[in-house]
Amino acid sequence: MVDSKNSIFRSLEQIESRISEKLTVENIASAVYFSKYHYQRLFREIVGDSVMEYVTKRRLTLAGRALLESSATIIDIALEYGYDSREGFTRSFKAYMGVSPTEYRKYGLAAISQKTIKERFNMTYSKNTDEIIRELNDFIAKSRELAEYARKIEIPEYGPFWNGVAENTDAIADRIQATLTRISVIAERPDEITNGLAMLKVIDDTMFEIHIFALHINLTAVGRAKPEHIAIHKPLCDKYTELSLLAEVKTSKLVGFFKELSSLIFNEMRKTLEEKIQIAIQKGTFLTENIRGDSLYIKDEISRLVNELSSTPIESVTFLLLNDCLFNMKFISLAAKVDIWRRPDSKAMFDGMDAFTESLSEAVDYFRTIKEPDSGPAAERKIIMTLQDIAYHANILLFYTKGEVEKMGNLLSETQKEAFKIINATMESCVEFSRGATNAMAFREITDKLNKVVFSLNTEADRLGPHGGAIRLLAEQINILADKVTQNI
């Protein structure tokens, strides 16, 4: 078998040196003195692809390199690597890289491993890494296209808003692209797989941020927009909703490659940890003292995080707690950004936002690699994780509901204000119940609570008439969450 492997490796060198020529299985096999049948069988056994599948992948990989490193036209590159037309090359390239040659060059996306199979031999993760690269290339390209689209909206009073949306979309794509660069190295440096779970966490958090971002965009550009502007905004808002759904699908696919992140806890350096948490508490407290006006819902949520950190004994602080606080601050910061885009004079009262977020990030990073032992049967852990996830999503939607109620202010009658208090109280009880539940029996009660909230929100949206768009959007989002919970019953 050793001689067979060496012969196959020699044939790979033949393929590499003649990659621009017209290659067939017969002429490659004859170069290493094998029959066509015997060569094909050995090649698939050792390499994992058929001969011509491998040739195609190498040509597309090298074509990708040429797209990034040369100014040659796409058709010239296509012809160099054996394609008779730009259309045929584009179809093959997109199937392999996840994006078209134009998108690949325009956005400087990541390449499938550029090394030959000999250098990658026994690299367990290469195929899955290639799949991740394809999925994320596609997502980055779609994000960049949306950012360009957002900048073209021609309504002067919405200029700052859509420019802010575009910049934030590009920033999200930048984070994914930076992580993708690290992932692409795994195929060539197996030791980097030890960082794989951390990379997945970055991607998972960023993909979920897209979901919240799309909700925010819809609330502002459709829910609060003037009727004559909705038709202009709606197509782009729908594209952001589609991007958020795509993010969910892609995250699910990526989890198939990476192992589920282990829960992390803090088991050493408790004094340093306590100091970092105290610094974060101080910065969070300072931040809440400056927030006022119709942004009190932001102040309340930050205060909740600060209180949670303050009231948790140091020995009970976990990686999950700190990471959730940090991620909460990301969508709270997004809410503050949107408020600033809407009201630029409010910028000063959010000046401490970055300092608080950075202090939380330092605490999370400090204990990122500390592994927590598993506890309880896997099925029970999965149910508890699902319940915690439901609580987390429900709390975000509660946060936005409170914000919309505050923004409506004097538009609401006392009766309507009281109705929203009851709605929020129901939602809060749902969040707390989900956080404390430990078995599958809870899903039905959570569904009932969420459906009750949906019905009440739609009722109030109808009473608000043209001012009820944002409330109706929130009802739709809570209904989507209820449907997901129902799937667990």
Given a contact cutoff of 8 angstroms between Cβ atoms, the answer to whether 144 and 170 are in contact is: yes
Other Cβ atoms less than 10 A from the Cβ of 476: the count is 16
Instruction: For 255-265, write each residue's pLDDT tens digit.
Output: 776 653 333 32
pLDDT at 113: 56
For a pLDDT cut of 90, what percent of the chain falls above it?
37
**pLDDT of the residue at 411:** 87
pLDDT tens string 195-253? 666 677 788 888 888 888 998 898 888 888 888 888 889 999 999 999 998 888 888 77
Alpha carbon dihedral 450, 456, 458, 464, in 10-degree steps, equals -140
Query: Would you tell me how many other CB atoms lie within 10 Å of the CB of residue 209?
Result: 20
pTM: 0.63
Is pLDDT above 50 for 417? yes
Inter-residue contact 302 to 319 (CB < 8 Å)? no
Residue found under tokens 């600033």:
340
DSSP letters along 205-230, please? HHHHHHHHHHHHHHIIIIISS-HHHH
